[in-house]
Amino acid sequence: MKKAAAIFLPVLLLLFLFWGCSSSGNAAGSTARSPAAPAADAEKATDGTNAASTAANTGTAASAARKIEKSAKLTMETLRYEKCTADLESLVSRYGGYLESSSIQGKRTQSSGGARTASYAVRVPAERLDAFLDAASAVGNVTEKSISGRDVTQSYVDTGAKLKTLKTEQTRLLDMMNKASDMESLLKIEQRLTEVQNQIEQLTAELKSMDSLVAFASVAVTVQETAVLTKPAEPTFWGQLGSTLSASFHALGLTFRYLCVFLTAVLPFAAVAGAVLAVVLILRRRMRKKP
């Protein structure tokens, strides 16, 4: 019994020592690996920041490359028609624009007072649109002003992608044409090549048109000649009452003016009719006096 105990106790002691060393090694291994976790987290965070920065740069680039077609409408009235239209045309040239078209309706007469209307289709550089509208608004009394924009970025990108694909196909067709060995294949290639070239020309023209519309804003300007300028609406009751009364007196004055013009125009006819009537009456009296 004593011999068995003497053998068993050293074995237990060795097992205890081995277990203790193994636990210490595991703890040391855990301690050695723990600094790697923060490094991995930092690397992930850095990657996330870089990704966010890349996304922001991409978003900024996409925003800067957007294609916006700007258009505006400006309607104004003036008492000095010739000066207003001359100043407006001068402003178009001053701001680097040009007139696409212009037309004049009506004719100035003494009786109408002011009845002419000039319509302009103007193109000005898009970046100078606001400055041009501010300057143009100063040459007349503005009654309407609006600005709008149309985003054609997606259409522009799609058209560019189609054009690129067609040019690649054109290159391939030209290579196939050089290698064609029979007339039938050559004719088919030429037919397709003609279709591709026509599409390339059409898409190229569309891109140029969009570039022009983006680079130069369209402005529709209308100048109306008038005898009295339109005043802005008064916010108060008495102000509205005064504006209405002023408009009524103006309408009454115009009515009296047109009535005088009408009577003046009718007077010669009335004089002739009166003379004819007088002659008829005189002849009738003479005929009655005869036996």
Residue 20 scores a pLDDT above 70:
no
- Supply the pLDDT for residue 32: 40
SS3 (DSSP) at 271: helix
Q: Say which residue, 58 or 75, is predicted with more confidence.
A: 75
SS3 (DSSP) at 86: helix
Return the bridge partners of 124, or none.
217
For the chain, the average pLDDT equals 76
% of the chain beyond a pLDDT of 90: 47
Q: Say which residue, 277 or 15, is predicted with more confidence.
A: 277
CA distances from 210 to 124, 147, 156, 194, 199 (A): 15, 19, 7, 25, 17
Residue 112 scores a pLDDT above 60:
no
Are 224 and 112 in contact by the 8 Å Cβ rule? The answer is no
Which of 75, 78, 73, 70 has its CA nearest to residue 220? 73
SS3 (DSSP) at 143: strand
Range of lowest pLDDT (51-60, 101-110, 135-144, 201-210): 51-60
Identify the top-confidence range among 36-45, 48-57, 262-271.
Answer: 262-271
- Read off the pLDDT of each residue in 137-162 and give the average, rounded to a whole number: 94
- Beta strands 117-125; 216-225: pairing state: antiparallel
- Supply the pLDDT for residue 1: 44
pLDDT in tens, 229-263: 777 655 665 556 665 666 676 566 667 666 777 77
Q: How confident is the model at residue 223 (pLDDT cuts 50, 70, 90)?
A: very high
Q: How many residues does the chain have?
A: 291
- Read off the pLDDT of each residue in 57-85 and give the average, rounded to a whole number: 79
Are 92 and 99 in contact by the 8 Å Cβ rule? The answer is yes
Q: What angle do CA 212, 214, 215 make, to 5 degrees?
A: 65
Distance CA 150, CA 66 (A): 11
Are 223 and 76 in contact by the 8 Å Cβ rule? The answer is yes
Sign of the dihedral defined by the CA atoms of residues 254, 256, 258, 261, in that order: negative
- Supply the pLDDT for residue 254: 60
Half-sphere exposure of 26 (CA within 13 A, CB side): 6
